[in-house]
């Protein structure tokens, strides 16, 4: 018997010597259900829409926009306004709009699913519900549903009680489960929840984990599905493995670890290739995990707090990861270490050091990398791009193009202010790549991927620290304040 599907083999079940530095514990709660992954292929590849942070388990943003010729203009197609929450928390007032990473999702419902939503969630939907629905979590503590075409509310907002900073995740099987994480404790309970979008039923609420090795219980990380499991990293230092069956979700197992006696937390989203998950934490550790056993495979120390999400790409059957750190625990001055590692062993392929500092902008703001890198294709094959912020007057941030093979810096394009937003790609009929990115001063840039030339810049929003998605010839992106934008790239 022949099949068109390639045979995908699991990476080795091993623990390399670097794991000796890792004090870890795996707890299993469903002993009658195997932890083996029934599927190693990308669950998101054939699922319509953009359903998790950066669109895929590899976090390499495979979804790109399309343009004709050379784009040189950005037009506002619509603006959607969120509510504002003026609740004063121990961590300030968070208002509305979106924060970091704050990426919208795009659900593409088929007609059968739409009819089910209209029937089961009739009290929540509006006349603007359609096949393409933007779903975005806001700092005001609500989830918003927006018709992609018109920018009108497609449903009533869903109140989750606390600010949402990170990016939510919609199960790629389209069972309807939306995974949401609280970012700041304005109210109790504080933690994570799952809501089914077919009937707006709360499937699960997960509050403080008394077994966690770290006390901070926020969930900025965007969960990811591999096989029959959803994986959710928490800022409490725990990786949760959730068994799913339809819209039923149960906790299967957890991984917790300490290094040098300290338990770090996860603000970044886990990147995945086959059965290996790649975690970066706020102590600067990079840890590869065998997602079948939940045991560490290798450990690498990347110098400083790493909140930017790892990107993984296979080359000739070997996964390689790209990651960069902040300038935080190094002190007032230091370096962003941007590295390429062998994903099987953790060995360094190359390392680049970008000098920078912390800046006092009303409060201390760390330099370095918060944005997730973007892999180039078309006429930018062989390059990888990222926004890295030295935080120096006159040198706040640069979009930097790196050679994937050597780490050589091909060019640096200065931005007007620092940027935490992750860039997205557009391609024209000649496979020429154009990069669209934002900064925290509300600027949107169109940049030629080949040479770094700025083709357009305009100040549109209040503060684009959120990451956009590219859909057709547009981006959808949220701003601090109240606004969600659909912007046309022309």
pLDDT tens, 196-242? Answer: 999 999 999 999 999 999 999 999 999 999 999 999 999 999 999 99
Q: Is position 5 within any domain?
A: no
**Distance between CA atoms of 98 and 479, rounded to whole angstroms?**
5
Q: Is position 10 within any domain?
A: no
Would you place residue 5 in the very low, low, confident or very high pLDDT band (cuts 50, 70, 90)?
Answer: low
Sequence-separated (6 or more) residues with CB below 8 Å from residue 124:
155, 156, 158, 200
Residue 114 has pLDDT above 90, yes or no: yes
Residue 281 contacts residue 26 (beta carbons within 8 Å): no
**pLDDT (average), residues 357-372:** 97
Cis peptide before 127 (omega within 30 of 0): no
Would you place residue 6 in the very low, low, confident or very high pLDDT band (cuts 50, 70, 90)?
Answer: confident
pLDDT for the residue numbered 7: 86
Q: Is position 3 within any domain?
A: no
pLDDT tens, 164-176? Answer: 999 999 999 999 9
Query: Which range of residues forms the domain containing residue 252?
Result: 17-489
pLDDT for the residue numbered 4: 65
Residue 2 has pLDDT above 60, yes or no: no
Sequence-separated (6 or more) residues with CB below 8 Å from residue 233:
221, 239, 240, 266, 268, 269, 270, 279
Would you place residue 1 in the very low, low, confident or very high pLDDT band (cuts 50, 70, 90)?
Answer: very low
Neighbours of 334 (CB within 10 A): 23
**pLDDT (average), residues 122-139:** 98
| Among 285, 244, 249, residue whose Cα is nearest residue 267 | 285
Our count of domains for the chain comes to: 1
Q: Is position 12 within any domain?
A: no
**Distance between CA atoms of 316 and 318, rounded to whole angstroms?**
6
**pLDDT (average), residues 240-248:** 97
**pLDDT (average), residues 459-481:** 98
Phi/psi for 144 (5° steps) reads: -110, 145
The domain that holds 61 is classified in CATH as: 2.130.10.10
Q: Is position 274 within any domain?
A: yes
Q: How much is the mean pLDDT over the chain?
A: 98
| Among 309, 331, 378, 274, residue whose Cα is nearest residue 36 | 274
Would you place residue 337 in the very low, low, confident or very high pLDDT band (cuts 50, 70, 90)?
Answer: very high
**Distance between CA atoms of 303 and 327, rounded to whole angstroms?**
9
pLDDT for the residue numbered 180: 99
Q: Determine whether 426 is exposed, middle or buried from the number of CB atoms within 10 Å of its CB (0-12, 13-18, 19+).
A: buried
**Distance between CA atoms of 474 and 490, rounded to whole angstroms?**
9
Question: E strands of 364-423, at which residues?
Answer: 364-365, 367-368, 374-375, 383-388, 397-403, 409-415
Cα separation values, 318 from 9, 171, 213, 340, 371, Å = 12, 27, 33, 13, 24
**pLDDT (average), residues 302-329:** 98
**pLDDT (average), residues 328-339:** 98
Would you place residue 433 in the very low, low, confident or very high pLDDT band (cuts 50, 70, 90)?
Answer: very high
**Distance between CA atoms of 288 and 14, rounded to whole angstroms?**
11
Express as a percent the part of the chain with pLDDT over 70.
99
Q: Is position 282 within any domain?
A: yes
**Distance between CA atoms of 80 and 464, rounded to whole angstroms?**
15
């Amino acid at each position: 018997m022949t099949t068109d599907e390639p045979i995908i083999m699991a990476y080795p079940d091993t623990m390399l010597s670097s794991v000796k530095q890792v004090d870890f514990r795996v707890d299993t709660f469903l002993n009658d259900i195997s932890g083996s992954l029934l599927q190693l292929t990308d669950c998101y590849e054939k699922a319509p829409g953009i359903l998790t942070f950066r669109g895929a388990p590899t976090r390499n943003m495979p979804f790109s926009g399309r343009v004709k010729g050379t784009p040189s203009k950005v037009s506002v197609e619509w603006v959607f306004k969120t509510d504002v929450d003026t609740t004063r928390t121990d961590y300030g007032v968070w208002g509305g709009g979106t924060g970091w990473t704050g990426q919208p999702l795009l659900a593409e419902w088929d007609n059968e699913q739409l009819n089910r939503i209209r029937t089961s969630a009739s009290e929540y939907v509006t006349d603007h519900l359609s096949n393409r629905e933007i779903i975005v979590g806001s700092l005001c503590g609500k989830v918003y549903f927006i018709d992609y075409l018109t920018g009108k509310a497609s449903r009533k907002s869903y109140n989750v009680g606390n600010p949402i900073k990170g990016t939510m995740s919609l199960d790629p099987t389209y069972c309807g489960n939306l995974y949401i994480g609280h970012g700041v404790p304005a109210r109790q309970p504080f933690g994570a929840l799952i809501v089914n979008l077919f009937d707006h039923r709360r499937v699960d609420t997960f509050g403080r984990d008394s077994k966690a090795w770290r006390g901070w219980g926020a969930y900025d990380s965007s969960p990811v599905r591999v096989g029959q499991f959803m994986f959710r990293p928490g800022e409490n230092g725990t990786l949760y493995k959730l068994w799913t069956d339809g819209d039923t979700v149960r906790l299967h197992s957890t991984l917790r670890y300490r290094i040098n006696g300290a338990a770090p937390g996860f603000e970044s989203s886990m990147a995945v290739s086959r059965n290996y998950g790649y975690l970066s934490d706020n102590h600067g550790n990079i840890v590869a995990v065998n997602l079948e056993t939940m045991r560490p495979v290798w450990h690498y120390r990347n110098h400083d707090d790493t909140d930017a999400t790892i990107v993984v790409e296979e080359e000739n059957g070997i996964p390689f990861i790209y990651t960069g750190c902040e300038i935080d625990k190094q002190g007032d001055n230091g370096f962003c270490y941007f590295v390429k590692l062998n994903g099987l062993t953790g060995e360094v392929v190359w390392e680049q050091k970008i000098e920078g500092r912390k800046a006092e902008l009303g409060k201390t703001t760390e330099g370095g990398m918060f944005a997730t890198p973007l892999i180039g294709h078309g006429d930018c094959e062989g390059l990888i791009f990222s926004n890295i912020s030295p935080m120096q007057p006159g040198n706040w941030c640069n979009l930097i193009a790196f050679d994937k093979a050597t780490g050589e810096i091909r060019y640096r394009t200065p931005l007007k202010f620092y940027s935490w937003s992750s860039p997205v790609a557009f391609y024209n009929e000649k496979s020429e790549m154009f990069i669209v990115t934002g900064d925290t001063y509300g600027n949107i840039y169109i940049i030629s991927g080949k040479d770094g030339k700025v083709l357009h810049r305009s100040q549109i929003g209040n503060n684009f620290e959120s990451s956009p998605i590219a859909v057709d010839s547009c981006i959808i992106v949220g701003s601090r304040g109240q606004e969600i934008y659909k912007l046309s790239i022309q």
